[in-house]
């Protein structure tokens, strides 16, 4: 889906380019979040040693090379706009001569890389967690499945137009994301001007790190912050209600660039999977609601669950 939005084409699942793209993107994310990157961020002088830079950023450079190849291909074929790159290139041309414009080749590279990273791993990690977590709550899972059956039946896959009619399913997805707390510190921001905040003077350029976990589990915002409770997102009539304290995609106007696409993907995949399958622990395994925190960094811990086909009608 992300490749179609960005590049205007879909890759075959057996295409080596697709597998290289996924591998390089995931390794790029690992590099960005690794201990080495944190050290480099603290002591940027390290970047003056070219061999260290190339060794650490090998996969990132491969990803950048792929992105550059796609951009150049679009520049050579500027007919009718087809995708994100085409429309961005049009905007760059319109903004030529404007020194303050953010529309340039560098920005295009950054946007594409960011969207690929978010679209390749973040959504996958969220879905893996959602399925592992919902397997712990068979009653809630059954209620979601019943709602989907009532609205779409067992044959037609749920679509975005069904979302307003699936309030409980939507509430469960939001509660799963709240508990996941995928990016506790969200995206770093920086002040564009000197700012006074609660008696403190914060100067232009000061880095701001939003601590999203403090909001997602704030007892003043959630009735039972430490419990899995879809009711957090339902009103007294059982209809879905948005909560300002739900900040799963960072905070402020500059939250995750792909938030709209991510929400659509998560809803479509999660509802389609629960329409067809029931997820439960493997034989003899008990899933812990709070597994021990590993000493080694992981995106999402792998849980052993199985998917059971609900019925022949749902096949």
Domains of the chain: 1-103 (no CATH), 138-183+212-315 (1.10.630.10)
Neighbours of 208 (CB within 10 A): 15
Write out pLDDT tens, residues 100-117. 788 888 889 888 887 777
The predicted structure's pLDDT at residue 295: 46
Write out pLDDT tens, residues 195-216. 998 999 999 998 888 888 999 9
Residue 135 — very low, low, confident or very high, per pLDDT cuts 50/70/90? Answer: very high
Residue 315 — very low, low, confident or very high, per pLDDT cuts 50/70/90? Answer: very low
Q: Which two tokens stand for residue 278?
A: 């029931």
256 appears as a binding residue in the annotation: yes
Q: Which two tokens stand for residue 94?
A: 């319109």
The predicted structure's pLDDT at residue 162: 97
Give the residue with greater pLDDT, 287 vs 307.
307
Residue 178 has pLDDT above 90, yes or no: yes
Q: What is the pTM of this model?
A: 0.77
Query: Of 19, 105, 123, which is closest to residue 67 (Cα–Cα)?
Result: 105
Average pLDDT taken over every residue of the chain: 84
Residue 303 — very low, low, confident or very high, per pLDDT cuts 50/70/90? Answer: low
């Amino acid at each position: 889906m992300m490749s179609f939005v960005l590049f205007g084409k879909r890759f075959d699942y057996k295409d080596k380019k697709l597998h290289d793209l996924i591998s390089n993107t995931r390794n790029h994310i690992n590099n960005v979040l690794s201990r080495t990157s944190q050290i480099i961020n603290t002591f940027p002088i390290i970047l003056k040693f070219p061999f260290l830079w190339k060794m650490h950023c090998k996969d990132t450079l491969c990803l950048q090379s792929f992105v550059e190849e796609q951009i150049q291909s679009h520049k050579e074929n500027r007919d009718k706009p087809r995708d994100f790159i085409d429309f961005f290139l049009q905007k760059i041309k319109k903004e030529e001569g404007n020194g303050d414009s953010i529309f340039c080749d560098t920005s295009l590279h950054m946007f594409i890389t960011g969207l690929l990273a978010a679209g390749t791993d973040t959504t996958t990690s969220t879905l893996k967690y959602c399925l592992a977590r919902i397997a712990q709550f068979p009653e809630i899972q059954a209620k979601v499945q019943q709602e989907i059956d009532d609205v779409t039946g067992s044959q037609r896959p749920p679509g975005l137009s069904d979302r307003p009619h699936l309030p409980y399913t939507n509430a469960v997805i939001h509660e799963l994301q709240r508990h996941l707390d995928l990016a506790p510190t969200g995206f770093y921001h920086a002040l564009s001007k000197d700012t006074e905040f609660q008696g403190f003077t914060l100067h232009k350029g000061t880095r701001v790190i939003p601590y999203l976990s403090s909001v997602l589990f704030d007892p003043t915002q959630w009735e039972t912050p430490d419990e899995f409770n879809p009711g957090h997102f339902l009103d007294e009539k059982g209809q879905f209600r948005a909560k300002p304290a739900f900040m799963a995609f960072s905070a402020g106007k500059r939250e995750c660039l792909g938030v709209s696409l991510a929400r659509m993907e998560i809803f479509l995949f999660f509802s389609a999977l629960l329409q067809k399958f029931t997820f439960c622990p493997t034989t003899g395994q008990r899933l812990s609601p709070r597994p021990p925190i590993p000493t080694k960094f992981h995106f999402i811990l792998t849980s052993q669950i199985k998917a059971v086909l609900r019925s022949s009608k749902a096949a």
